[in-house]
Amino acid sequence: MLTGSCLCGAVRYEIHGELGPAFFCHCIRCRKASGTAFASNAVVAEADFTVTAGEELLRTYTADTGLSRRFCGQCGSPLTSSRPGLPQVRVRLGTLDTPVVRGPQAHIFTAYKADWFDILDDRVQYPERPPA
C-alpha cells in the first residue's frame, strides 16, 4: 500500500495496488496546472485509489477536453487527474508520502516543453502522447 497527502495534510489518500506507468508530462496544461516545467504523474487503477481524509476539501477543475484535475481547496496542492470513461487516475508523484523506488520512465508531450527547460536525462521522449 502507498499513501499520500496534500501540502497541508488535510487531504490524504491510499493506493492499494501497483503504480502503473509513470511519466513527466510537458503539455501546456500540465505546466499551467503545476506552475513548473512538467508534471510528474503515475497511472493508478481507479479502484485502487481511495481518499481517506479531507474528501470535502477536494475541488475539481474540468477542462474543455474533459480532463478533470482534483486539488486541495485549502492549500491548492494538485493531487490527481482523470478522464471520463477511463478506469484510472493519474496521481501526482510529488504527493506520495511512501517512498517510490521506480520513478517516471518517459517524458511525454515534449513538443510543448518549456523553452527554458532542457531535458538532460536518457529517458525516452515522446513529442505527443506515447503509443498505446
Domain positions in the chain: 2-113
Asked if residue 26 lies in contact with residue 109, where contact means CB atoms within 8 angstroms, the answer is: yes
Encode the chain (132 residues) as per-residue pLDDT tens digits: 999 999 999 999 999 998 999 999 999 999 999 999 999 999 999 999 999 999 999 999 999 999 999 999 999 999 999 999 999 999 999 999 999 988 999 999 999 999 999 999 999 999 999 987
Q: Which helix (H) or strand (E) holds 29?
A: helix 28-34
Q: What whole-number distance in Å separates Cα of residue 97 and Cα of residue 114?
A: 28
In words, the CATH class of domain 2-113 is mainly beta
- Which grid cell sits at 88? 484510472
